[in-house]
A and B are shown apart, each in its own frame.
Chain A
Protein backbone atom coordinates (compact mmCIF):
# COMPACT_ATOMS: atom_id res chain seq x y z
CA UNK A 1 0.00 0.00 0.00
CA UNK A 2 2.76 2.32 -1.02
CA UNK A 3 0.75 5.45 -1.65
CA UNK A 4 -0.97 5.29 1.69
CA UNK A 5 2.26 4.41 3.35
CA UNK A 6 3.83 7.37 1.57
CA UNK A 7 0.97 9.55 2.72
CA UNK A 8 1.39 8.37 6.29
CA UNK A 9 5.09 9.12 6.14
CA UNK A 10 4.41 12.65 4.96
CA UNK A 11 1.61 12.90 7.52
CA UNK A 12 4.09 12.00 10.22
CA UNK A 13 6.37 14.83 9.17
CA UNK A 14 3.55 17.33 9.68
CA UNK A 15 4.04 19.15 12.98
CA UNK A 16 0.34 19.14 13.79
CA UNK A 17 0.05 15.43 13.16
CA UNK A 18 3.08 14.84 15.39
CA UNK A 19 1.58 16.94 18.17
CA UNK A 20 -1.78 15.21 17.81
CA UNK A 21 -0.25 11.76 17.72
CA UNK A 22 1.80 12.56 20.84
CA UNK A 23 -1.32 13.70 22.70
CA UNK A 24 -3.25 10.61 21.62
CA UNK A 25 -0.36 8.39 22.67
CA UNK A 26 -0.15 10.11 26.06
CA UNK A 27 -3.89 9.63 26.53
CA UNK A 28 -3.66 5.97 25.63
CA UNK A 29 -0.72 5.36 27.95
CA UNK A 30 -2.40 7.23 30.81
CA UNK A 31 -5.64 5.33 30.32
CA UNK A 32 -4.10 1.91 29.88
CA UNK A 33 -1.52 2.17 32.66
CA UNK A 34 -3.49 4.32 35.10
CA UNK A 35 -2.96 2.00 38.10
CA UNK A 36 0.79 1.93 37.43
CA UNK A 37 1.20 5.63 36.73
CA UNK A 38 -1.04 7.12 39.41
CA UNK A 39 0.94 7.72 42.61
CA UNK A 40 -2.20 7.35 44.74
CA UNK A 41 -5.58 5.71 44.75
CA UNK A 42 -7.73 8.40 43.09
CA UNK A 43 -10.48 7.84 45.65
CA UNK A 44 -8.27 7.79 48.74
CA UNK A 45 -9.20 10.73 50.95
CA UNK A 46 -6.87 12.47 53.36
CA UNK A 47 -8.77 15.29 54.97
CA UNK A 48 -5.65 16.57 56.68
CA UNK A 49 -4.05 17.09 53.25
CA UNK A 50 -6.92 18.90 51.53
CA UNK A 51 -6.35 21.85 49.18
CA UNK A 52 -2.61 21.26 48.87
CA UNK A 53 -1.23 23.28 45.92
CA UNK A 54 0.80 21.80 43.05
CA UNK A 55 4.48 21.14 43.69
CA UNK A 56 5.73 24.37 42.14
CA UNK A 57 3.80 26.54 44.60
CA UNK A 58 4.69 27.44 48.17
CA UNK A 59 3.21 25.11 50.78
CA UNK A 60 3.14 22.09 48.47
CA UNK A 61 3.69 18.53 49.58
CA UNK A 62 5.94 16.56 47.16
CA UNK A 63 3.81 13.47 47.78
CA UNK A 64 1.03 15.20 45.80
CA UNK A 65 2.80 16.59 42.68
CA UNK A 66 -0.26 18.39 41.33
CA UNK A 67 -1.84 19.09 44.71
CA UNK A 68 -5.04 17.74 46.24
CA UNK A 69 -8.77 18.50 46.14
CA UNK A 70 -11.20 19.44 48.86
CA UNK A 71 -11.17 15.93 50.28
CA UNK A 72 -7.38 15.59 50.07
CA UNK A 73 -7.47 13.25 47.07
CA UNK A 74 -4.40 13.32 44.82
CA UNK A 75 -5.18 15.48 41.76
CA UNK A 76 -2.60 13.86 39.46
CA UNK A 77 -4.07 10.43 40.13
CA UNK A 78 -7.59 11.73 39.56
CA UNK A 79 -6.51 13.32 36.26
CA UNK A 80 -4.89 10.08 35.09
CA UNK A 81 -7.98 8.05 35.94
CA UNK A 82 -10.07 10.79 34.32
CA UNK A 83 -8.13 10.21 31.11
CA UNK A 84 -9.32 6.62 31.27
CA UNK A 85 -12.96 7.66 31.25
CA UNK A 86 -12.37 10.31 28.58
CA UNK A 87 -10.53 7.97 26.24
CA UNK A 88 -12.97 5.11 26.73
CA UNK A 89 -15.88 7.36 25.88
CA UNK A 90 -13.99 8.92 22.96
CA UNK A 91 -12.98 5.62 21.38
CA UNK A 92 -16.18 3.69 21.92
CA UNK A 93 -18.59 6.52 21.13
CA UNK A 94 -16.68 7.67 18.04
CA UNK A 95 -16.40 4.13 16.68
CA UNK A 96 -20.06 3.35 17.22
CA UNK A 97 -21.18 6.69 15.76
CA UNK A 98 -18.91 5.99 12.80
CA UNK A 99 -20.41 2.54 12.37
CA UNK A 100 -24.01 3.71 12.44
CA UNK A 101 -23.46 6.87 10.40
CA UNK A 102 -21.29 5.15 7.81
CA UNK A 103 -23.74 2.31 7.30
CA UNK A 104 -26.63 4.70 6.71
CA UNK A 105 -24.51 7.10 4.64
CA UNK A 106 -23.31 4.28 2.38
CA UNK A 107 -26.84 3.05 1.79
CA UNK A 108 -28.26 6.54 1.22
CA UNK A 109 -25.49 7.56 -1.16
CA UNK A 110 -25.31 4.38 -3.16
CA UNK A 111 -28.91 3.36 -3.51
CA UNK A 112 -30.36 6.87 -3.76
CA UNK A 113 -34.08 7.19 -4.42
CA UNK A 114 -36.53 7.00 -1.54
CA UNK A 115 -34.00 5.34 0.77
CA UNK A 116 -31.76 8.36 0.38
CA UNK A 117 -34.70 10.74 0.77
CA UNK A 118 -35.74 9.12 4.07
CA UNK A 119 -32.22 9.00 5.54
CA UNK A 120 -31.36 12.52 4.42
CA UNK A 121 -34.56 14.02 5.89
CA UNK A 122 -33.88 12.14 9.11
CA UNK A 123 -30.40 13.67 9.25
CA UNK A 124 -31.78 17.16 8.59
CA UNK A 125 -34.35 16.88 11.35
CA UNK A 126 -31.80 15.32 13.70
CA UNK A 127 -29.32 18.12 13.16
CA UNK A 128 -31.93 20.77 13.88
CA UNK A 129 -31.71 19.89 17.60
CA UNK A 130 -28.99 21.64 19.63
CA UNK A 131 -26.60 18.76 20.35
CA UNK A 132 -25.59 19.54 23.94
CA UNK A 133 -29.14 20.13 25.06
CA UNK A 134 -30.20 16.94 23.31
CA UNK A 135 -27.49 14.92 25.02
CA UNK A 136 -28.41 16.27 28.45
CA UNK A 137 -32.06 15.47 27.87
CA UNK A 138 -31.20 12.03 26.54
CA UNK A 139 -28.99 11.08 29.46
CA UNK A 140 -31.55 12.51 31.88
CA UNK A 141 -34.07 10.14 30.31
CA UNK A 142 -31.96 6.98 30.01
CA UNK A 143 -30.19 7.58 33.28
CA UNK A 144 -26.67 8.63 34.22
CA UNK A 145 -23.66 6.42 33.65
CA UNK A 146 -20.84 5.74 31.26
CA UNK A 147 -22.90 3.68 28.81
CA UNK A 148 -25.61 6.37 28.72
CA UNK A 149 -23.01 8.98 27.84
CA UNK A 150 -21.76 6.80 25.01
CA UNK A 151 -25.28 6.09 23.76
CA UNK A 152 -26.11 9.80 23.86
CA UNK A 153 -23.03 10.71 21.82
CA UNK A 154 -23.71 8.01 19.25
CA UNK A 155 -27.36 8.96 18.91
CA UNK A 156 -26.44 12.58 18.38
CA UNK A 157 -23.29 12.38 16.29
CA UNK A 158 -23.98 9.57 13.81
CA UNK A 159 -25.32 12.32 11.53
CA UNK A 160 -21.84 13.80 11.10
CA UNK A 161 -20.62 10.54 9.59
CA UNK A 162 -23.79 9.93 7.64
CA UNK A 163 -23.71 13.28 5.86
CA UNK A 164 -20.05 13.18 4.90
CA UNK A 165 -20.06 9.51 3.89
CA UNK A 166 -23.20 9.96 1.77
CA UNK A 167 -21.65 12.92 -0.06
CA UNK A 168 -18.43 11.01 -0.66
CA UNK A 169 -20.29 7.94 -1.95
CA UNK A 170 -22.11 10.19 -4.43
CA UNK A 171 -18.69 11.26 -5.72
CA UNK A 172 -17.18 7.78 -5.70
CA UNK A 173 -20.05 6.00 -7.41
CA UNK A 174 -19.59 8.19 -10.51
CA UNK A 175 -15.96 7.13 -10.79
CA UNK A 176 -15.03 4.88 -13.68
CA UNK A 177 -13.82 2.12 -11.42
CA UNK A 178 -17.39 1.65 -10.22
CA UNK A 179 -18.62 1.40 -13.82
CA UNK A 180 -15.82 -1.12 -14.39
CA UNK A 181 -16.95 -3.11 -11.38
CA UNK A 182 -20.49 -3.14 -12.74
CA UNK A 183 -19.32 -4.29 -16.17
CA UNK A 184 -17.35 -7.07 -14.51
CA UNK A 185 -20.68 -8.30 -13.19
CA UNK A 186 -20.16 -7.59 -9.48
CA UNK A 187 -23.35 -7.16 -7.45
CA UNK A 188 -24.36 -3.90 -5.83
CA UNK A 189 -23.59 -4.83 -2.22
CA UNK A 190 -20.28 -6.25 -3.25
CA UNK A 191 -19.37 -3.04 -5.09
CA UNK A 192 -20.45 -0.92 -2.14
CA UNK A 193 -18.59 -3.02 0.39
CA UNK A 194 -15.48 -4.16 -1.48
CA UNK A 195 -14.94 -1.38 -4.02
CA UNK A 196 -16.30 1.88 -2.60
CA UNK A 197 -15.82 1.44 1.16
CA UNK A 198 -12.03 0.96 0.94
CA UNK A 199 -11.87 4.30 -0.84
CA UNK A 200 -13.58 5.94 2.15
CA UNK A 201 -11.25 4.60 4.84
CA UNK A 202 -8.86 7.58 4.98
CA UNK A 203 -11.84 9.91 5.24
CA UNK A 204 -13.32 7.81 8.06
CA UNK A 205 -10.02 7.86 9.91
CA UNK A 206 -10.09 11.66 9.86
CA UNK A 207 -13.72 11.86 10.95
CA UNK A 208 -13.23 9.42 13.82
CA UNK A 209 -10.27 11.40 15.12
CA UNK A 210 -12.26 14.63 15.09
CA UNK A 211 -15.24 12.89 16.67
CA UNK A 212 -13.06 11.67 19.54
CA UNK A 213 -12.33 15.29 20.41
CA UNK A 214 -16.02 16.09 20.37
CA UNK A 215 -16.82 13.05 22.52
CA UNK A 216 -14.30 14.17 25.15
CA UNK A 217 -16.01 17.55 25.40
CA UNK A 218 -19.49 16.05 25.60
CA UNK A 219 -18.39 13.62 28.29
CA UNK A 220 -16.87 16.50 30.27
CA UNK A 221 -20.06 18.52 29.97
CA UNK A 222 -22.18 15.62 31.13
CA UNK A 223 -19.82 14.96 34.04
CA UNK A 224 -19.97 18.62 34.86
CA UNK A 225 -23.76 18.54 35.14
CA UNK A 226 -23.47 15.27 37.05
CA UNK A 227 -24.98 13.04 34.36
CA UNK A 228 -21.93 10.94 33.58
CA UNK A 229 -20.39 8.21 35.71
CA UNK A 230 -21.07 8.10 39.43
CA UNK A 231 -19.71 11.18 41.11
CA UNK A 232 -17.06 9.49 43.24
CA UNK A 233 -15.27 8.19 40.13
CA UNK A 234 -12.70 10.63 38.79
CA UNK A 235 -13.65 12.43 35.58
CA UNK A 236 -12.31 15.65 34.13
CA UNK A 237 -15.76 17.21 33.96
CA UNK A 238 -16.46 16.17 37.55
CA UNK A 239 -13.20 17.76 38.70
CA UNK A 240 -14.09 21.00 36.98
CA UNK A 241 -17.48 20.98 38.66
CA UNK A 242 -15.87 20.41 42.05
CA UNK A 243 -13.09 22.92 41.42
CA UNK A 244 -15.57 25.60 40.44
CA UNK A 245 -16.70 25.78 44.09
CA UNK A 246 -13.18 26.43 45.36
CA UNK A 247 -11.80 28.50 42.51
CA UNK A 248 -10.65 31.31 44.84
CA UNK A 249 -8.94 28.98 47.31
CA UNK A 250 -7.57 26.29 45.01
CA UNK A 251 -7.49 27.25 41.30
CA UNK A 252 -5.68 24.05 40.30
CA UNK A 253 -8.63 21.77 40.96
CA UNK A 254 -10.53 23.42 38.12
CA UNK A 255 -7.74 24.65 35.86
CA UNK A 256 -5.72 21.43 35.54
CA UNK A 257 -8.59 19.24 34.28
CA UNK A 258 -9.57 22.05 31.93
CA UNK A 259 -6.04 22.05 30.59
CA UNK A 260 -6.26 18.27 30.09
CA UNK A 261 -9.46 18.65 28.08
CA UNK A 262 -8.13 21.54 26.01
CA UNK A 263 -4.87 19.79 25.16
CA UNK A 264 -6.63 16.53 24.32
CA UNK A 265 -9.18 18.17 22.07
CA UNK A 266 -6.60 20.40 20.40
CA UNK A 267 -4.40 17.37 19.84
CA UNK A 268 -7.16 15.25 18.33
CA UNK A 269 -8.30 18.11 16.10
CA UNK A 270 -4.76 18.73 14.94
CA UNK A 271 -4.34 15.05 14.20
CA UNK A 272 -7.61 14.91 12.26
CA UNK A 273 -6.87 18.07 10.27
CA UNK A 274 -3.33 16.99 9.52
CA UNK A 275 -4.47 13.57 8.36
CA UNK A 276 -7.16 15.13 6.22
CA UNK A 277 -4.65 17.38 4.48
CA UNK A 278 -2.20 14.62 3.78
CA UNK A 279 -4.66 11.88 2.89
CA UNK A 280 -6.95 13.98 0.71
CA UNK A 281 -4.66 14.33 -2.31
CA UNK A 282 -4.26 10.57 -2.34
CA UNK A 283 -8.01 10.14 -2.27
CA UNK A 284 -8.85 12.65 -4.96
CA UNK A 285 -6.18 11.87 -7.46
Chain B
Protein backbone atom coordinates (compact mmCIF):
# COMPACT_ATOMS: atom_id res chain seq x y z
CA UNK B 1 0.00 0.00 0.00
CA UNK B 2 1.39 3.36 -0.96
CA UNK B 3 -1.11 5.72 0.64
CA UNK B 4 -0.16 6.63 4.19
CA UNK B 5 -2.96 6.37 6.73
CA UNK B 6 -4.21 9.69 8.08
CA UNK B 7 -4.16 8.21 11.55
CA UNK B 8 -2.21 5.11 12.49
CA UNK B 9 -2.52 3.69 15.98
CA UNK B 10 -0.40 0.59 16.60
CA UNK B 11 -0.24 -1.67 19.65
CA UNK B 12 -1.26 1.20 21.88
CA UNK B 13 -1.25 0.35 25.57
CA UNK B 14 -2.41 2.95 28.08
CA UNK B 15 -2.78 2.79 31.86
CA UNK B 16 -4.77 5.07 34.09
CA UNK B 17 -2.89 5.04 37.35
CA UNK B 18 -2.10 1.34 37.62
CA UNK B 19 -5.22 0.16 35.79
CA UNK B 20 -4.72 -0.96 32.20
CA UNK B 21 -7.35 0.73 30.03
CA UNK B 22 -6.04 0.09 26.51
CA UNK B 23 -4.31 -3.23 25.88
CA UNK B 24 -2.96 -3.09 22.37
CA UNK B 25 -5.09 -0.99 20.06
CA UNK B 26 -4.42 -1.06 16.32
CA UNK B 27 -6.41 1.27 14.07
CA UNK B 28 -5.55 2.70 10.67
CA UNK B 29 -7.81 5.48 9.45
CA UNK B 30 -7.18 6.06 5.76
CA UNK B 31 -7.65 9.44 4.03
CA UNK B 32 -11.29 10.15 3.30
CA UNK B 33 -12.43 7.11 5.27
CA UNK B 34 -15.00 6.94 8.05
CA UNK B 35 -13.59 4.38 10.44
CA UNK B 36 -15.99 3.10 13.08
CA UNK B 37 -14.77 2.18 16.55
CA UNK B 38 -17.55 0.15 18.06
CA UNK B 39 -17.91 -1.52 21.43
CA UNK B 40 -19.94 -1.53 24.61
CA UNK B 41 -19.78 1.19 27.21
CA UNK B 42 -16.50 1.07 29.12
CA UNK B 43 -14.62 -0.67 26.32
CA UNK B 44 -12.14 2.21 26.05
CA UNK B 45 -13.47 3.95 22.93
CA UNK B 46 -13.41 7.44 24.42
CA UNK B 47 -9.93 6.82 25.81
CA UNK B 48 -8.65 5.98 22.32
CA UNK B 49 -10.09 9.26 21.06
CA UNK B 50 -8.61 11.22 23.94
CA UNK B 51 -5.22 9.59 23.49
CA UNK B 52 -5.23 10.57 19.83
CA UNK B 53 -6.13 14.16 20.70
CA UNK B 54 -3.65 14.27 23.57
CA UNK B 55 -6.33 15.09 26.14
CA UNK B 56 -6.20 11.90 28.21
CA UNK B 57 -6.98 12.60 31.89
CA UNK B 58 -4.24 13.30 34.42
CA UNK B 59 -2.74 9.99 35.50
CA UNK B 60 -2.98 8.42 32.05
CA UNK B 61 0.30 6.94 30.85
CA UNK B 62 1.08 5.46 27.47
CA UNK B 63 3.02 2.26 28.18
CA UNK B 64 3.86 1.28 24.65
CA UNK B 65 2.77 1.49 21.05
CA UNK B 66 2.67 4.32 18.58
CA UNK B 67 0.28 6.91 17.19
CA UNK B 68 1.02 8.87 14.06
CA UNK B 69 -0.90 11.53 12.19
CA UNK B 70 0.21 11.71 8.54
CA UNK B 71 3.42 9.93 9.60
CA UNK B 72 4.04 12.50 12.34
CA UNK B 73 4.50 11.04 15.83
CA UNK B 74 1.61 12.12 18.04
CA UNK B 75 3.08 10.77 21.28
CA UNK B 76 6.42 12.59 21.25
CA UNK B 77 4.91 15.70 19.68
CA UNK B 78 5.84 19.00 21.37
CA UNK B 79 2.95 20.86 22.98
CA UNK B 80 3.22 23.79 20.56
CA UNK B 81 2.99 21.57 17.52
CA UNK B 82 0.00 19.74 18.98
CA UNK B 83 -1.81 23.02 19.68
CA UNK B 84 -1.16 24.04 16.12
CA UNK B 85 -2.57 20.78 14.74
CA UNK B 86 -5.60 20.64 17.03
CA UNK B 87 -8.54 22.46 15.59
CA UNK B 88 -6.76 23.04 12.29
CA UNK B 89 -5.75 19.55 11.13
CA UNK B 90 -7.36 17.38 13.79
CA UNK B 91 -10.77 18.21 15.25
CA UNK B 92 -13.24 16.73 17.72
CA UNK B 93 -16.99 16.35 17.65
CA UNK B 94 -17.77 15.67 21.30
CA UNK B 95 -20.38 13.29 22.64
CA UNK B 96 -22.49 15.66 24.64
CA UNK B 97 -23.64 18.77 22.81
CA UNK B 98 -24.98 20.11 26.11
CA UNK B 99 -21.56 20.45 27.71
CA UNK B 100 -19.25 20.69 24.72
CA UNK B 101 -19.91 24.42 24.36
CA UNK B 102 -18.94 27.02 26.95
CA UNK B 103 -22.19 27.97 28.75
CA UNK B 104 -21.32 31.65 29.21
CA UNK B 105 -19.94 32.53 25.79
CA UNK B 106 -21.97 33.39 22.70
CA UNK B 107 -21.88 31.03 19.74
CA UNK B 108 -20.11 33.57 17.52
CA UNK B 109 -17.22 33.88 19.99
CA UNK B 110 -16.86 30.12 20.20
CA UNK B 111 -17.01 29.67 16.45
CA UNK B 112 -14.73 32.54 15.46
CA UNK B 113 -11.94 31.85 17.98
CA UNK B 114 -10.51 28.85 16.08
CA UNK B 115 -11.03 30.59 12.72
CA UNK B 116 -9.03 33.58 13.85
CA UNK B 117 -6.41 31.45 15.54
CA UNK B 118 -5.81 28.95 12.75
CA UNK B 119 -6.86 30.68 9.56
CA UNK B 120 -5.63 34.10 10.64
CA UNK B 121 -8.96 35.71 9.77
CA UNK B 122 -9.83 39.11 11.19
CA UNK B 123 -13.01 39.55 13.18
CA UNK B 124 -15.41 40.42 10.33
CA UNK B 125 -14.01 37.73 8.05
CA UNK B 126 -14.29 35.12 10.80
CA UNK B 127 -17.85 36.22 11.53
CA UNK B 128 -18.75 35.91 7.85
CA UNK B 129 -17.15 32.49 7.70
CA UNK B 130 -19.02 31.37 10.84
CA UNK B 131 -22.28 32.46 9.26
CA UNK B 132 -21.41 30.53 6.14
CA UNK B 133 -20.60 27.44 8.19
CA UNK B 134 -23.94 27.60 9.98
CA UNK B 135 -25.63 27.75 6.59
CA UNK B 136 -23.72 24.65 5.58
CA UNK B 137 -24.95 22.69 8.59
CA UNK B 138 -28.45 23.95 7.72
CA UNK B 139 -29.21 25.91 10.83
CA UNK B 140 -32.19 28.15 10.42
CA UNK B 141 -31.74 31.84 11.27
CA UNK B 142 -27.96 31.56 11.59
CA UNK B 143 -27.56 35.30 12.26
CA UNK B 144 -29.65 34.90 15.36
CA UNK B 145 -27.95 31.70 16.48
CA UNK B 146 -24.57 33.43 16.35
CA UNK B 147 -25.75 35.92 18.93
CA UNK B 148 -27.20 33.27 21.23
CA UNK B 149 -25.85 31.33 24.19
CA UNK B 150 -25.64 27.53 24.05
CA UNK B 151 -28.55 26.95 26.45
CA UNK B 152 -30.85 28.83 24.09
CA UNK B 153 -30.33 26.16 21.42
CA UNK B 154 -31.75 22.64 21.23
CA UNK B 155 -29.46 19.63 21.49
CA UNK B 156 -29.62 19.03 17.74
CA UNK B 157 -28.76 22.68 17.01
CA UNK B 158 -25.82 22.61 19.37
CA UNK B 159 -24.53 19.45 17.76
CA UNK B 160 -24.83 21.16 14.38
CA UNK B 161 -22.79 24.06 15.74
CA UNK B 162 -20.14 21.67 17.05
CA UNK B 163 -20.06 19.88 13.70
CA UNK B 164 -19.68 23.19 11.91
CA UNK B 165 -16.81 24.04 14.25
CA UNK B 166 -15.13 20.67 13.71
CA UNK B 167 -15.20 21.08 9.93
CA UNK B 168 -14.47 24.82 10.02
CA UNK B 169 -10.72 24.69 9.35
CA UNK B 170 -11.02 21.77 6.91
CA UNK B 171 -9.17 19.26 9.09
CA UNK B 172 -7.64 16.05 7.75
CA UNK B 173 -8.99 14.05 10.67
CA UNK B 174 -12.03 14.33 12.90
CA UNK B 175 -12.54 12.30 16.04
CA UNK B 176 -16.30 11.99 16.53
CA UNK B 177 -17.09 10.53 19.96
CA UNK B 178 -20.67 9.23 19.91
CA UNK B 179 -21.83 12.43 18.20
CA UNK B 180 -25.44 11.33 18.01
CA UNK B 181 -25.90 9.32 21.19
CA UNK B 182 -27.35 12.18 23.22
CA UNK B 183 -29.90 13.04 20.52
CA UNK B 184 -33.32 11.58 19.83
CA UNK B 185 -33.74 9.21 16.91
CA UNK B 186 -35.04 11.52 14.20
CA UNK B 187 -32.45 14.20 14.97
CA UNK B 188 -29.83 11.46 15.11
CA UNK B 189 -30.58 10.44 11.53
CA UNK B 190 -30.34 14.02 10.25
CA UNK B 191 -27.06 14.59 12.04
CA UNK B 192 -25.54 11.39 10.65
CA UNK B 193 -26.56 12.39 7.15
CA UNK B 194 -25.07 15.84 7.70
CA UNK B 195 -21.74 14.47 8.93
CA UNK B 196 -21.56 12.05 6.01
CA UNK B 197 -22.31 14.80 3.50
CA UNK B 198 -19.71 17.21 4.89
CA UNK B 199 -17.19 14.40 5.18
CA UNK B 200 -17.64 13.36 1.55
CA UNK B 201 -17.45 16.93 0.29
CA UNK B 202 -14.29 17.72 2.23
CA UNK B 203 -12.72 14.26 1.98
CA UNK B 204 -12.12 14.23 5.73
CA UNK B 205 -11.05 11.07 7.53
CA UNK B 206 -13.20 10.37 10.59
CA UNK B 207 -12.60 8.13 13.57
CA UNK B 208 -16.23 7.51 14.40
CA UNK B 209 -16.76 6.24 17.94
CA UNK B 210 -20.10 4.60 18.72
CA UNK B 211 -21.68 1.75 20.68
CA UNK B 212 -24.33 1.29 18.00
CA UNK B 213 -23.78 -1.07 15.07
CA UNK B 214 -26.87 0.42 13.47
CA UNK B 215 -25.08 3.77 13.29
CA UNK B 216 -21.96 2.04 11.97
CA UNK B 217 -23.91 0.54 9.09
CA UNK B 218 -25.14 3.99 8.08
CA UNK B 219 -21.95 5.99 8.07
CA UNK B 220 -18.77 3.90 8.28
CA UNK B 221 -16.52 2.48 5.59
CA UNK B 222 -14.48 0.31 7.92
CA UNK B 223 -15.05 -0.83 11.49
CA UNK B 224 -12.90 -1.93 14.40
CA UNK B 225 -14.57 -3.78 17.25
CA UNK B 226 -13.19 -3.01 20.71
CA UNK B 227 -13.66 -4.78 24.04
CA UNK B 228 -11.74 -4.29 27.30
CA UNK B 229 -9.27 -2.05 25.53
CA UNK B 230 -8.50 -4.62 22.80
CA UNK B 231 -9.38 -4.52 19.11
CA UNK B 232 -11.02 -7.88 18.40
CA UNK B 233 -11.70 -7.50 14.72
CA UNK B 234 -11.27 -4.96 11.96
CA UNK B 235 -13.01 -5.14 8.58
CA UNK B 236 -14.79 -3.30 5.81
CA UNK B 237 -18.32 -2.53 6.86
CA UNK B 238 -20.01 -4.90 4.39
CA UNK B 239 -17.64 -7.73 5.30
CA UNK B 240 -18.17 -7.21 8.97
CA UNK B 241 -21.93 -7.47 8.70
CA UNK B 242 -21.87 -10.36 6.21
CA UNK B 243 -18.99 -12.37 7.62
CA UNK B 244 -18.33 -11.41 11.22
CA UNK B 245 -15.17 -13.22 12.32
CA UNK B 246 -15.27 -12.83 16.06
CA UNK B 247 -17.84 -14.36 18.45
CA UNK B 248 -18.17 -10.99 20.10
CA UNK B 249 -19.00 -9.24 16.83
CA UNK B 250 -21.77 -11.76 16.25
CA UNK B 251 -23.03 -11.30 19.80
CA UNK B 252 -22.99 -7.52 19.36
CA UNK B 253 -25.07 -7.90 16.18
CA UNK B 254 -27.64 -10.01 17.95
CA UNK B 255 -27.84 -7.28 20.59
CA UNK B 256 -28.46 -4.51 18.04
CA UNK B 257 -31.91 -3.74 16.62
CA UNK B 258 -32.05 -4.03 12.80
CA UNK B 259 -34.11 -1.68 10.74
CA UNK B 260 -34.54 -4.29 8.04
CA UNK B 261 -35.68 -6.97 10.49
CA UNK B 262 -37.59 -5.15 13.21
CA UNK B 263 -39.26 -8.33 14.44
CA UNK B 264 -36.02 -10.00 15.56
CA UNK B 265 -35.61 -10.69 19.23
CA UNK B 266 -32.64 -8.89 20.75
CA UNK B 267 -30.23 -10.93 22.82
CA UNK B 268 -27.82 -9.34 25.25
CA UNK B 269 -24.14 -10.23 24.94
CA UNK B 270 -23.84 -13.54 26.88
CA UNK B 271 -22.20 -13.19 30.27
CA UNK B 272 -19.82 -16.09 29.73
CA UNK B 273 -18.53 -14.51 26.52
CA UNK B 274 -17.93 -11.22 28.33
CA UNK B 275 -16.16 -13.10 31.14
CA UNK B 276 -13.96 -14.93 28.62
CA UNK B 277 -13.01 -11.69 26.86
CA UNK B 278 -12.14 -9.99 30.13
CA UNK B 279 -10.01 -12.98 31.15
CA UNK B 280 -8.21 -12.89 27.81
CA UNK B 281 -7.66 -9.15 28.14
CA UNK B 282 -6.32 -9.42 31.67
CA UNK B 283 -3.95 -12.18 30.58
CA UNK B 284 -2.32 -9.48 28.42
CA UNK B 285 -1.59 -7.30 31.44
CA UNK B 286 1.08 -9.56 32.93
Contacts and interface: CB of A to CB of B under 8 A. Distances in A.
A180 B94 contact: yes
B100 A112 contact: no
B104 A285 contact: no
Interface string B79-106: 0000111111011101110011111110
Contacts of B100: 176-177, 179-180
Contact of B58 (A112, A179, A183): A112
Contacts of A201: 104
A195 B106 CA distance: 11
A199 interface: yes
- Among B96, B103, B114, max chain A CB count under 10 A is at B103
B64 to A, nearest CB: 25
A258 B117 CA distance: 56
Interface string A172-186: 000111011111111
B239 to A, nearest CB: 32
Given A198-B104, A285-B151, A185 B99 contact: no
B83 A195 contact: no
A199 B102 CA distance: 8
Contacts of A180: 92, 94, 100-102, 162
A1 interface: yes
A182 B79 CA distance: 11
B141 interface: no
B102 A186 contact: no
Contacts of A176: 94-96, 99-100
B165 interface: yes
B241 interface: no
A107 to B, nearest CB: 16
Interface string B113-157: 110011000000000000000000000000000000101100000
Given A2-B152, A112-B58, A198-B104, A186 B99 contact: no
B99 A177 contact: yes
Contact of B102 (A183, A187, A195): A195
Given A177-B103, A199-B102, A285-B103, A184 B114 contact: yes
B53 interface: yes
B55 interface: yes
A187 to B, nearest CB: 6
A186 B96 CA distance: 20
A177 B53 CA distance: 15
Interface in A22-38: none
A185 B58 contact: no
Nearest to A181: B102
Contacts of B96: 176
A-B pairs with lowest CB-CB distance, top 6: A185-B87, A176-B99, A184-B87, A183-B92, A185-B86, A177-B102
Interface of A: 1-4, 112, 175-177, 179-187, 194-195, 198-199, 201, 285
17 contacts: A3-B151, A112-B58, A176-B96, A177-B101, A177-B103, A179-B92, A180-B94, A180-B100, A180-B162, A183-B86, A184-B87, A184-B91, A185-B88, A185-B114, A185-B117, A195-B105, A199-B104
